[in-house]
Amino acid sequence: MYNPFSLQGKTVLVTGASSGIGRAVAVECAKMGANVVITGRNTERLNETFLALAAGEHLQIVADITTESGINSLVENLPKLDGCVNNAGIAQPLLVQQIEKQDINEVFDINTFAPIVLTQKLLSNKKLNKKASLVFTSSISGVYCSAIGGSLYSASKAAINGFIKGAALDLAGREIRVNSVNPGLIATNIFSEGTVTAEQLDEEIKRYPLRRFGKPEEVAYAVIYLLSAASEWVTGTNLKIDGGFTLL
């Protein structure tokens, strides 16, 4: 059947696949025919994602990609890839006056340094096929807006938005494309660990013209587009998925 968005025959790595957006990306990519390699630190939750994947030649690799040994063992165990979804990340709301050097390290290690280092290692270890597509889960935060306590997170994501543009230029000659998705608030666990109160979320939802937060699958569909042949002429793009939030 004609389907320019098909991922049939493609092998795709998804980081942060043990929950939230990454899990949805892995599940939806497998439904579109991809063989997926999923990674995260939590063995049990990663396995839950693995069990949810449609039939295919999938792999799961437990790794902390902020450590040298973790990222190296991930890369060593990877097959050749047609796509990589750099999605693992954390939110750590802090007022500027509260920020300590250790906080900067923690947020940047996973949100910024790990995806950049992974990209470099995929290239130097020849793990990317020609015409591979690299997708980064960034955010509207740091590019179009921010939030109180969001300076560090915004900075870590703004760096990614810049990185994908330069990387897109560096890799265009090899027909490797580099793009980001920039979601608004998506209903995942990222804000459910005491970082934001239920009252704050109730107030926040009113700022969305479409009157709801996004679903992880709605980010996954954009990722599928960027991984597929449908976007073969798209590189260096930051793709907003935000229910109209940044219009106001």
Please tell me which residue in 2, 144, 153, 208 is annotated as part of the active site.
153
Q: Taking a C-beta distance cutoff of 8 angstroms, is the pair 35, 56 a contact? A: yes
Is the CB of 131 or the CB of 221 nearer to ligand NAP? 221
Smallest distance from the beta carbon of 239 to ligand NAP, in angstroms?
12
CA dihedral 110, 213, 221, 132 (to 10 degrees): -20
Smallest distance from the beta carbon of 173 to ligand NAP, in angstroms?
28
C-alpha span between 133 and 179 (Å, rounded): 8
Q: According to CB under 6 A, which one of 10, 11, 18, 36 is a site residue for ligand NAP?
A: 18
Q: Taking a C-beta distance cutoff of 8 angstroms, is the pair 41, 208 a contact? A: no
Given the rule CB under 6 A, which of 120-128, 168-176, 181-189, 230-238 is the region that contacts ligand NAP?
181-189
Rg over alpha carbons for the chain, rounded to the nearest Å, is: 17
Given the rule CB under 6 A, which of 39-47, 50-58, 116-124, 126-134 is the region that contacts ligand NAP?
39-47
> How buried is 234 (Cβ within 10 angstroms: 0-12 exposed, 13-18 middle, 19+ buried)?
middle
**DSSP H helix total and E strand total for the chain:** 8, 7
Is the CB of 91 or the CB of 159 nearer to ligand NAP? 91
Q: Decide if residue 31 touches ligand NAP (CB under 6 A).
A: no
Tell me the angle at which helices 68-76 and 114-124 cross, rounded to the nearest 10 degrees.
40
Q: According to CB under 6 A, which one of 21, 152, 167, 224 is a site residue for ligand NAP?
A: 21
Q: According to CB under 6 A, which one of 118, 185, 224, 239 is a site residue for ligand NAP?
A: 185
Tokens of 16: 């942060």
Smallest distance from the beta carbon of 4 to ligand NAP, in angstroms?
26
**Helix, strand and coil in the chain, % to nearest 5:** 45, 20, 35
Beta-carbon contacts of 6 under 8 Å, excluding residues fewer than 6 positions away, are 32, 33, 228, 229
153 carries an active-site annotation = yes
Q: Decide if residue 36 touches ligand NAP (CB under 6 A).
A: no
CA dihedral 113, 144, 97, 206 (to 10 degrees): -120
Q: Decide if residue 88 touches ligand NAP (CB under 6 A).
A: yes
C-alpha span between 215 and 44 (Å, rounded): 23
Q: Decide if residue 165 touches ligand NAP (CB under 6 A).
A: no
User: Per-residue string for binding with ligand NAP, 53-82, x by CB under 6 A?
Assistant: -----------xxx----------------
Q: Decide if residue 183 touches ligand NAP (CB under 6 A).
A: yes
Interface residue list for ligand NAP (CB under 6 A) = 16-22, 40-42, 45, 64-66, 87-91, 110, 137, 139, 183, 185-186, 188-190
Catalytic positions are: 153
